[in-house]
Amino acid sequence: MKAAVLREVGKPLQIEDVAIGKPAAHEVLIRTAAAGVCHSDLHFVEGSYPYPLPAVLGHESAGVVEAVGSEVRTVKPGDHVITCLSAFCGHCKHCVTGHMNRCESGEVRRGESEEPRLTQAAAPLNQFLNLSSFAEQMLIHEHACVAIRPDMPLDRAALIGCSVMTGVGAVFHTSNVRPGDTVAVIGCGGVGLAAINGAQIAGASRIIAIDMAKGKENLAKHFGATDFVCASETDPVAAVIEMTKGGVEHSFEAVGLKATSEQAFLMLARGGTANIIGMVPVTQKIELPAYMFLGEKRIQGSLMGSNHFPVDMPRLVDFYLAGKLRLDDMISRRIRLEQVNEAFAEMKTGGVARSVIMFDA
């Protein structure tokens, strides 16, 4: 099969022929239909986050099940599925206490003594985040995908696999936004737009979108923002505090920078919660004024929207088909696998929401 392989940090992905194994007892073989090009992939390409190489990248995807292992009970051949990088074992302390997104069990991956899922000329290739979806097929654990209704377009379904689940889940689960709450979202890329949309669905009374690009205003408001602050023209913290007469109850940082993470905390009202959902580089540290914690303000991380994806993702599909979740306008461009490096270049300009690789193109 064709796959996009990262061999060296800072270098373009290479489209190569890669061999894929057959499903073991709890594994599923999927024909990839669509894969979103996510900023998280770019972090690994640029080396902001380390990963063993060579690896087939990609982690936001949807497809059709081709074959299943002997013990698989959750999906069957022909099912349309969305994948999720937070594969779970189902019986560790995180899973049994309702935090399956935190599962760290090695059971969802093949052991060192087992044949690797991906190879090239008999040499192993690393599978990226349990998925490696920049490829024509995926071989994954059954607890890394969920079946969805067949009338859901798979290019839009792919977005639910990462950016939408991350943004909406952070609103619903991590921060528990309630009707009438006030919200600020820093960054209007795919994850930020999903958080804005999620806040609208949750019933937030005011949703302030913040971005460096003034041209993002109309898009942010289309996704549910009530207000827009252009951070390149004004201090976003001062603007939010003035607009809300004291700050917001929930803020969501969807950029992944030290400065914006600090801003997310500084714009909180008393008792507010700042949620860091962007991937801040591993070498960075966040600095906050300690006295502000006396106002019962909190800052916390969110891993894949604190999801329960086997339940959450089918519900998000229903939201989309009911006209509540705006996925159509999140896709800026549909591309071929061979154009993946172009998508990363466009991503750096900040002018696109999401490029989606279509494997039947």
**Which residues are marked as active site?**
38, 40, 43, 59, 162
Q: Which two tokens stand for residue 183?
A: 């919200």
Q: Rounded to 5 degrees, what are φ and ψ at 209?
A: -90, 140
* Spatial distance between the Cα atoms of 150 and 164, rounded to a whole number of angstroms: 19
**DSSP symbols for 218-230:** HHHHHTT-SEEEE
Total residue count of the chain as it appears in this document: 361
Helix, strand or coil, per DSSP, at residue 108: helix
In one letter, which amino acid is 25? A
Q: Which residues contact 326 (CB under 8 A, 6 or more apart)?
A: 193, 197, 222, 223, 224
**Are 162 and 59 spatial neighbours (Cβ–Cβ below 8 Å)?**
yes
Helix, strand or coil, per DSSP, at residue 12: coil
* Spatial distance between the Cα atoms of 77 and 330, rounded to a whole number of angstroms: 29
What distance lies between CA 283 and its chain's CA centroid?
21
**Are 126 and 7 spatial neighbours (Cβ–Cβ below 8 Å)?**
no
Any alpha helices (H) in the chain, and if so which ranges?
39-46, 93-96, 154-159, 165-169, 190-202, 217-222, 236-244, 258-266, 309-321, 340-349
* Spatial distance between the Cα atoms of 154 and 278, rounded to a whole number of angstroms: 25
Give the bridge partners for 146, in sequence order.
82
CA distances from 77 to 25, 29, 144, 164 (A): 14, 9, 15, 26
